[in-house]
A = this chain, B = another copy of it.
Amino acid sequence: MDLFRALTVEAALAELRRHFQALLETEKVDLRQALGRVLARDCFAPEDVPGFDRSTMDGFAVRARDTFGASEGLPAYLEVTGDVLMGEAPSREIGAAEAFRVPTGGMLPAGADAVVMLEYTEPLDDRTIGVVRPVAPGENVIRRGDDLRRDEQLFEAGHRLRPQDVGLLAAAGIGEVEVYRRLRVGIITTGDEIVPVKAKPGPGQVRDVNSYTAQGQVVECGGEPVLFGVVPDEFESLAAVLRRALAETDLVVISGGSSVGARDITARVIDSLGEPGVLFHGLAVRPGKPTIGAVVGGKLVFGLPGHPVSAMVVFRLLVAPLLDPRAGRSAIRARIRRSLRSQVGKEDYVRVRLVWENGELYAEPVLGKSGLITTMARADGLARIPLDREGVAEGEPVEVILF
């Protein structure tokens, strides 16, 4: 297939998702190893959490009605008949006009439905307290099931676990989860001009930057990078490496070859290795126009531009959302610091630094010629100028995708 269409990012993602069969195997992991993993199944609470009514304050567990009408001038007097210890059930039920000492997190005795904070009591003698402020039923109490109810859905399959999510699973007693194995992402750099980082480039040569940035972006997305080295701009060489990468990984990223000739080789190699092949050859974005998106035998293959900045931007927009469900949604908003012009018909992604000033968040474009890697290192994110706009005015709010 050879369409040579320039798609928007949104259309490209939709097209790729139609063909991408992410039939990944799953594995069971201990909750201690679950951070950053993607759930393979919906998760449900096996029981109520908490499993009992607990106090949220240091104070006295009471029957709320015994405190109604209490005030400083006329306290409600209660007899202290029990002491709740942490981790233990109270020894008996509470009676009328009684109070049990209870610590923060302690269990309420049967019959008690509220907790009076220590601060609102006065000791009368060693067995009696005066409550100077009434409490309502449920006050200062987390009831059984208030946090989680048995069978309540905690997460959907496809959710990538953050620390608080792991905490929620721990609270629910789920000590082991089924997750997708990490997506193996093959990384190939093409280019006759590319030399390894530790080499000294000769005239016309540049170092392999893209395999380092791609490796980092893959790791951040929860994937497992697999490096396939640098390949010259030559059909058979690239075909051999890509064939091997497709056999050993789930998704392949080829960067390099922004020139028409090199990209033509990449596209022809992809098409030669399986169906349907190249789905699009050009993105309606700047930077990043010369991007190839393809599917070969159910596996995604991306031809990213050779410019390190363009490659990183396209990875962030196109590859990351497919690897990490969270990557598609981390846009925020800031005011663009100066007017920018853009092209109608393309989404512009402008590298910006985020700066707070006078209670407002500003997105400051990072100045620099196209392709300069320093602009990426100085940027916090990408400000998006929509397709249909000719530019944005100074001070206008823009969407910013964070790195």
Contact = CB atoms under 8 A, between A and B. Distances in A.
B86 A192 contact: yes
Given A259-B86, A333-B360, A213 B50 contact: no
Interface stretch (A72-80, A198-206, A236-244): A198-206
Interface string A296-315: 00000000001110001000
Contact of A87 (B50, B58, B205, B308): B205
Given A86-B262, A106-B204, A201-B51, A213 B56 contact: no
Nearest to A138: B369
A129 B214 CA distance: 39
A372 B167 contact: no
Contact of A216 (B35, B106, B206): B35
Interface string A184-208: 0000000111100110111111111
A380 to B, nearest CB: 9
Contacts of A166: 212-213, 215-216
A228 interface: no
A24 interface: no
A361 B374 contact: no
Contacts of A168: 373-374, 376-377
Contacts of A52: 203-204
Contact of A213 (B32, B105, B167, B208): B167
A281 to B, nearest CB: 15
A111 interface: no
Interface stretch (A8-16, A61-69, A169-177, A387-395): A169-177
A402 B111 CA distance: 42
Contacts of A333: 332-334, 356, 359-361
A49 B168 CA distance: 48
A103 B260 CA distance: 8
A216 B163 contact: yes
B259 A104 contact: yes
A128 interface: no
Contacts of A35: 215-216, 219-220
Contacts of A163: 212-217, 219-220, 312, 403
A173 B202 CA distance: 13
A323 to B, nearest CB: 13
Given A58-B259, A105-B258, A369 B142 contact: yes
Contacts of A220: 35, 163
Interface string A112-142: 0000001000000000000000000000001
Contacts of A376: 164, 167-168
Contact of A167 (B259, B308, B379): B308
Interface of A: 31-32, 35, 49-52, 54, 56, 58, 84-90, 103-107, 118, 142, 146-148, 154-155, 162-171, 173-175, 191-194, 197-198, 200-210, 212-217, 219-220, 233, 258-262, 306-308, 312, 331-334, 354, 356, 359-361, 369-374, 376-377, 379, 397, 403
Given A147-B372, A166-B215, 4 more contacts: A56-B307, A89-B204, A163-B219, A333-B360
- Top 8 nearest A-B pairs (CB, nearest first) are A163-B216, A89-B203, A103-B259, A87-B193, A167-B213, A107-B204, A164-B376, A87-B192
